[in-house]
Amino acid sequence: MSVQNAELAVAPPGQDLESGHIGIRLLVENVRDYAILLLDLEGHIVTWNKGAELLTRYAPSEIIGRHFSIFYSPKDLAAGKPARELQTAEENGRYEDEGWRVRKDGSRFWANVIFTALRDDMGQLRGFGKVARDFTKRQRAEEQIRSLNEDLEQRVLCRTAELEVAAKELEAFSYSVSHDLRAPLRAIDGFSRILLKEHAGALPPEAREYLQDVRANTQRMGHLVDGLLAFSRLGRQPVNKQHVSPAGLVRQCLEDLHDQQAGRRVEILVGELADCWGDVALLKQVWMNLLSNALKYTARREVAVIEIGSHPGHSPGEQSYFVKDNGVGFDMRYTGKLFGVFQRLHRAEEYEGTGVGLAIVQRIIHRHGGRVWAEAQLDKGATFHFTLQSGGGAA
């Protein structure tokens, strides 16, 4: 039985808990969730409660008079941790710490510990109060979450690396396939041309027509191959970001697209275009594709109206740009397909094209960290939006 228990045992039964120290002593003695102990000036244990016994498994008779450093690991002892903690508590009035401590049987528990310097009315240091709580469960849960997160991060890194390798392989494959297809295509076209030119007289009219078809189709396939090459080249090209004025790019593109406007009534309204941060050559391809689409898909309008503008994006440092037209539009149900390679919503006989323009646009915008999307209504026109980093942004 400890000293305090002995005192408690001789306290007269029925004594008012609020009088004397009995109430406080009973309270401290019986608390089970906190280890509460008194240390003398050197750190020897003077009192011991139920919570301390449950936490460390030392009975009062085994621990009273021992130094509190008994709960520390050899590593903490070698680092002089117990003495440093008392010293800090003395200097600052209190000291709080969390860490692994050691039970009587050598097992570890994670403790939250608060030391309080105890001074008398004269300000003289008399000892230390130590209150500790067992946070092992919380600590283990946190450690588990941390290790699961690390594991997850590692797995994401591995998967991303695998995907990158697969994407690179696919890119290299489509590049070499499309590259290698060019020569035989040229040969087919060349021999068909020779047949038509030099042996036209020996061929019946039907055969000549077939040969014309062969040439038209090899040329079309040539365009598809060129589109695929242009698309796969994008993945290899580095993105050199700099300050870009889209107003200048739009002006150049519209000049380059002059032929598409010839003989037509086209109203082009260029609104304010905020500067952005990106690769000039790549962004020119974005504008070229969107503006040429706007011109192409308004070809059957009496007056084509194309609006171009920008406004701040949803997140800070982001600009949103748009190209709006009053052309044929499309059914929004197919909007997810538009940006895929060779995906077309209109027949080549109506509107010619290979279906890589928007795939290129999307790839360039994604490589800039932006988003691209479309809104449209069948026969009412389409609007293409994309976001980029604002002009003042860092690389």
CB of 216 to Mg ion, least distance (A): 20
236: Cβ–Cβ under 8 A, 6 or more apart, which residues?
171, 175
CB of 332 to ligand ATP, least distance (A): 11
CB of 353 to Mg ion, least distance (A): 5
CA 359, CA 338: separation in Å to the nearest integer?
8
Which C-beta is closer to ligand ATP: that of 4 or that of 354?
354
CA 181, CA 161: separation in Å to the nearest integer?
30
Q: Which does 127 bind (CB under 5 to 8 A by kind): ligand ATP, Mg ion, none?
A: none
- What residues are paired with 309 via a beta bridge? 322
Residues 75-94 that bind ligand ATP (CB under 6 A): none
Which residue in 89, 244, 274, 294 binds ligand ATP (CB under 6 A)?
Answer: 294
CB of 330 to ligand ATP, least distance (A): 5
Residues 174-233 that bind ligand ATP (CB under 6 A): 227
321: Cβ–Cβ under 8 A, 6 or more apart, which residues?
246, 273, 276, 308, 309, 310, 385, 386, 387, 388
CA 226, CA 176: separation in Å to the nearest integer?
12
- Binding of ligand ATP at residue 344 (CB under 6 A)? yes
How many other CB atoms are found less than 10 A from the CB of residue 41?
A: 12
Which C-beta is closer to Mg ion: that of 246 or that of 357?
357
Which C-beta is closer to ligand ATP: that of 313 or that of 357?
357
**Cα 250–Cα 255–Cα 261 angle in degrees, nearest 5:** 105
CB of 329 to ligand ATP, least distance (A): 5
CA 53, CA 48: separation in Å to the nearest integer?
7
The DSSP-derived string for 87-129 is: HHHHHHSEEEEEEEEE-TTS-EEEEEEEEEEEE-TT--EEEEE
CB of 279 to ligand ATP, least distance (A): 20
Structure tokens at 71: 């709960």
CB of 353 to ligand ATP, least distance (A): 3
Strand order through the sheet with 45-47 = 45-47, 34-39, 125-134, 108-119, 94-102
- Binding of ligand ATP at residue 355 (CB under 6 A)? yes
Residues 226-245 that bind ligand ATP (CB under 6 A): 227
- Binding of ligand ATP at residue 364 (CB under 6 A)? no
CA 60, CA 362: separation in Å to the nearest integer?
73
Q: Which does 356 bind (CB under 5 to 8 A by kind): Mg ion, ligand ATP, none?
A: ligand ATP
Which C-beta is closer to ligand ATP: that of 116 or that of 343?
343
- Binding of ligand ATP at residue 297 (CB under 6 A)? yes
- Binding of ligand ATP at residue 326 (CB under 6 A)? no
CB of 340 to ligand ATP, least distance (A): 8
Q: Which does 294 bind (CB under 5 to 8 A by kind): Mg ion, ligand ATP, none?
A: ligand ATP
First vs last Cα of the chain: how many Å apart? 72
- What residues are paired with 134 via a beta bridge? 111
Residues 152-171 that bind ligand ATP (CB under 6 A): none
- Binding of ligand ATP at residue 273 (CB under 6 A)? no
CA 202, CA 166: separation in Å to the nearest integer?
52
Q: Which does 338 bind (CB under 5 to 8 A by kind): ligand ATP, Mg ion, none?
A: ligand ATP
- Binding of ligand ATP at residue 386 (CB under 6 A)? no
Which residues are at the interface with ligand ATP (CB under 6 A)? Answer: 227, 289, 293-294, 297, 325, 327-330, 338, 343-346, 353-359, 382
